[in-house]
Amino acid sequence: MKIFKMRDVELIHYFIKFHAVIYMAGGETASNSSTRMECWPARGPRTGVTEQDHFTDTADEEQCWKLTLDLMLTLTQLLLYHTPGSAKERLTWQGLPAVRVLLEWLQHHQKVLADETVTGKYLFWNRLGKLLSMLSEPAAETAQKNQSVLWEDLLLNGFRPLQEAHSLLDFSSPRAKHLTKEESNRTRVVRMIHIGAKLASIQPG
């Protein structure tokens, strides 16, 4: 499988394959699978489940988990390929909210970092590291990590995989809806750098 560039037809092929695996089940089986899938982001695949956990993943369900994780990282990897060249454009790049949401999820589900799907994504980590390094300069003037609610937080509020990350934010604060674009951009960058440093200490490779 190519790791540098993926043609549109290849992306469609892998997405259809992923879609087929998830929807092969029918009726009650599909309903039960859907319920379990909602819990996967919080607990990970079978390898991270304790003996007290009443869930038992089938081989197909575990494959769905790995395909979902791989698809998410691959799409982010492709997104990072289009990182703007100038510092000003990077600060306002529309891809930053998506990358930041993924970083938030990884930070609060660190068991996922040990999954071979994640550890094998060398190009993803390389590109992510370069982006965070390039973002360090414009964010240096901000003394501390800001916990203000950003527009992507408002959009995904209540989304179960991000529940733990969002528990640290105050969605009732009027300030959540009154940040300027510049404030939002710098807050996002500072938070991304903070999370990136934390993940680097866990995932040194």
Residue with tokens 């092969």: 24
Is 184 a member of any domain? yes
Is 108 a member of any domain? yes
Which pair of structure tokens corresponds to residue 20?
Answer: 């087929």
List the domain range (segments joined by +) for residue 20: 8-202
Is 33 a member of any domain? yes
Is 146 a member of any domain? yes
Is 97 a member of any domain? yes
Is 91 a member of any domain? yes
**How many structural domains does the chain have?**
1
Which pair of structure tokens corresponds to residue 151?
Answer: 């527009």
Is 3 a member of any domain? no
Residue with tokens 């040194």: 204
Is 2 a member of any domain? no
Q: What is the pLDDT along the chain (205 residues), one digit of tens a residue?
A: 444 556 666 666 666 666 665 555 444 444 454 444 445 454 454 444 333 444 456 777 788 788 888 988 998 999 999 899 888 899 899 999 999 999 999 999 988 898 888 999 999 999 999 999 998 755 555 545 567 899 999 889 888 889 899 988 888 876 666 788 888 898 899 999 999 999 988 864 5
Alpha-carbon distances, residue 38 vs 43, 78, 104, 108, 151 (angstroms): 10, 25, 17, 16, 23
Cβ(162)–Cβ(105) under 8 Å? yes
